[in-house]
Structure 1
Amino acid sequence: MVEPNGLRETAISWLEMRTDGGRDPLTRDEIQDFEFDGEQFKLQSTQQGIRKPAGFSAALSIQTVFRRPGQERPYEDVIGDDGLLRYMWRGNDPTFPENVGLRNAMEQKLPIIWFWGVGMQPARFQVIAPVYVVGEEPNEQRFLLTATEPAADISEIDFSAHEFVAKRYLTRMAKVRVHQPVFRATVLTAYENRCAVCNLAHPSLLDAAHIVADGDEKGIASVVNGLAMCKIHHAAFDRYFLGVRPDYTVEIRHDLLEEVDGPMLRHGLQEIHGQKLMTVPKVRQDRPQADLLKFKYDEFRTAAKLDVV
């Protein structure tokens, strides 16, 4: 079967719709619902990481398996200091059909879909699309990809003249298109789509709050550095109105406890002072790391003292 015209664009548009613009992860069964020209078409591989349908010259999709913190992946897919994504070959033979398929996608400048595992039982995948293969590192047995749009393809960037700017641009795009949605999906999945503070269970009103900001060297992009929070509690947490002790006790800044305002302040903040988090991940490896909570809590205490002076 020769690759049908328009299949990739149709698949990416369908995934965009099904994921609410890339916000919501999908299960394998949900991904299998895709149809093209009235017939079901398989977008994701179940055995290999690279999906190159029979008859296609180029790969259609890749996947990264879900692993909990501390667990090794069979392949380590990473984002480099240059802002480019790395995806490992299948095996160590560059002539494997799947590896050739990714190489052909690079030469033909075709968009591909990345299914990034963010949970299990059932397995859930964050959809990152489109991404483009833009290079290869044969010694490390891996491909280079970018999450930029076609108009901002890495081939159009003059690294010799604008290397610093180009790296910053690609790194920012990788965070926006890959790190942030994967982090959000992983954290919300671990917290079963509930706010850790108030137990609100509407995913569209929830964020994945970094305990330590991702700009800090301690701010790892891992579920152990995250808390699922509704938008009110996320904003309060980031701005040091709300703190969380390493024992999961919530504290509200003391001047807010004395303030008189409406029901949101009273019920949403003042009444939760001294209470434990209402939701934490059932799997121990996914729970907030104590040293990260302490680091953020110490900042909260410092900020509260400064605001009083």
Structure 2
Amino acid sequence: MADVFWSAERDRRLRDEAIAWLKLRTNDGAVPLTRSEIKDFSFDGDTFALQATQQGIRKPRQLEAALSIQTVYRSPGQPRPYEDTMGSDGLLRYMWRGEDPEIPDNMALRAALENDLPLIWFIGVGMAPAIFQAVCPVYIVSEEPDLKRFVLAPFDEEAFLPRVAGQDTVIQETVKRYLTRETKIRLHQPVFRSTVLRAYEDRCSVCNLGHRVLLDAAHIVPDSHELGIASVVNGLALCKIHHAAFDSSILGIRPDLVVQIRPDLLEEIDGPMLQYGLKERHGQKLMMLPNRKVEQPRADLLEIAYDRFLNATPA
């Protein structure tokens, strides 16, 4: 491919085709990809790299603006090289590279902002091999130069409501709630799911069922709780039956990782699912845990959830 800049039309077509390919390749964001799998993309008959290998920002020589960004995976408790956060407005922040606003990578992100171009965000959900959740499209909607960062949304914010300057209004507060909810749905939930299922090797921790389509990433403590962190240590891979049982306090998990079933259910007779799927797991250790101790459930979070189980009132 030539080293000259492409037309705006060809740039847009590349982005559209890359995003469509990733959505198909990942079952609309449900399945993470390794670096080698991401390299399979081709455009106009040639292999085209979508992801940076060394830096966090990918700006192909043919384009004026960045094509993708990435955030590396770090084990719980380990800081990332750049700390990307969510602001009070419900939108995400992506840090500049370095301190200089005029270095090429930062200028490439600014060009994506100025031209309203969609980006791909590769978010690390595991290592050895490196695995990434592809979140796309995301848009840079503004820049906060005093804080050396860009503001991102996992959708085109302008498509549903233009930005409003000035004091907060009822409409703005409604928009903030919408943005926060959509960000959770489109970014945090798929990343959390992939991180947890990868750690548990796509198996239910209670019964060892190994069909990914039947598995959920369950929060031990809800994300609405003050300790409800979006981390693998606050997650359990559970099949849909055991997830529903856990959330409804039919099934509890002690801090020593032993399964408990609500006492009245132990006395009930109601077919093979109750017998083999629930009652026979009572008093048994979890069947699957992450190999790395640092990714295993935190005992203090399990204790909070177990207290909820013990104090629940049967429906």
Question: Which TM-score band (shorter chain)?
Answer: over 0.9
Alignment of 1:127 onto 2:127: no
Distance in 2 between the 1:216 and 1:158 partners?
A: 32
Q: Is contact 2:67–2:120 with CA below 8 Å preserved after alignment?
A: yes
Distance 1:154 1:48, change over 3 A: farther
Trace 1:70-89 onto structure 2 (pairs within 5 A): 70-89=77-96
Determine the structure 2 residue equivalent to 1:2: 5
Equivalent residue for 2:196, pick from 187, 195, 209: 187
Establish whether residue 211 from structure 1 lines up as the match of residue 213 from structure 2: no
Mark the CA change 1:117 to 1:26 in structure 2 (over 3 Å): closer, same or farther.
Answer: same
Separation of aligned partners in 2, 1:138 and 1:147: 21
Amino acid at match of 1:30: E
CA distance in 2, matches of 1:141, 1:78: 13
* Aligned: 1:23 with 2:38: no
The correspondence for 2:113, drawn from 94, 106, 109, is 106
Greater mean deviation of Cα atoms: 144-153 or 114-123? 144-153
Give 2:56's aligned residue.
Answer: 49
* Aligned equivalent of 2:72: 65
2:96 alignment partner AA: W
1:33 to 27, 36, 40: 40
Partner of 1:241: 250
CA distance in 1, matches of 2:161, 2:92: 12
AA aligned opposite 2:76? P
Paired positions, count? 306
Rounded to whole Å, the distance in 2 between the matches of 1:146 and 1:98 is 19
Give, as a single letter, the amino acid of the residue that structure 2 aligns with 1:179. Answer: H
Q: Say if 1:228 and 1:136 are closer, same or farther in 2 by CA, change over 3 A.
A: same
Q: Is the 8 A contact 2:141 2:157 kept in 1?
A: no
Summarize the Cα distance change of 1:126–1:56 in structure 2 as closer, same or farther, 3 Å threshold: same
Q: CA contact under 8 A between 1:126 and 1:185: conserved in structure 2?
A: yes
Q: C-alpha displacement at 1:232, in angstroms?
A: 0.6
CA contact (8 A) 1:134 1:155 kept: no
CA distance in 1: counterparts of 2:158 and 2:237, whole angstroms: 35
- Give the equivalent residue in structure 2 for 1:258: 267
72, 95, 102: which one aligns with 1:95: 102
Q: For residues 153 and 95 of structure 1, do their structure 2 counterparts lie closer, same or farther at Cα, with a shift above 3 Å needed?
A: farther
TM-score of the two chains, using structure 1 as the length reference: 0.96
- Report if the CA contact (8 A) 1:157-1:166 is conserved: no
1:117 corresponds to which letter in structure 2?
Answer: G
Residues 232, 89 of structure 1: alpha-carbon distance in 2 compared, 3 angstrom cutoff: same
**Structural RMSD (CA):** 1.4
TM-superposed CA distance for 1:154, in Å, is: 6.0
Instruction: Report the Cα distance in structure 2 between the residues aligned to 1:47 and 1:255, rounded to whole angstroms.
Output: 56
CA distance in 2, matches of 1:128, 1:99: 20
User: Does structure 2 conserve the Cα–Cα contact (< 8 Å) formed by 1:80 and 1:86?
Assistant: yes
Work out whether residues 85 and 146 of structure 1, in 8 Å CA contact, stay in contact via their aligned partners in 2.
yes
Q: Structure 2: state its 5+ residue gaps.
A: none
SS in 1 for 2:314: helix
Equivalent pair of 2:113/2:141 in contact (CA under 8 Å): yes
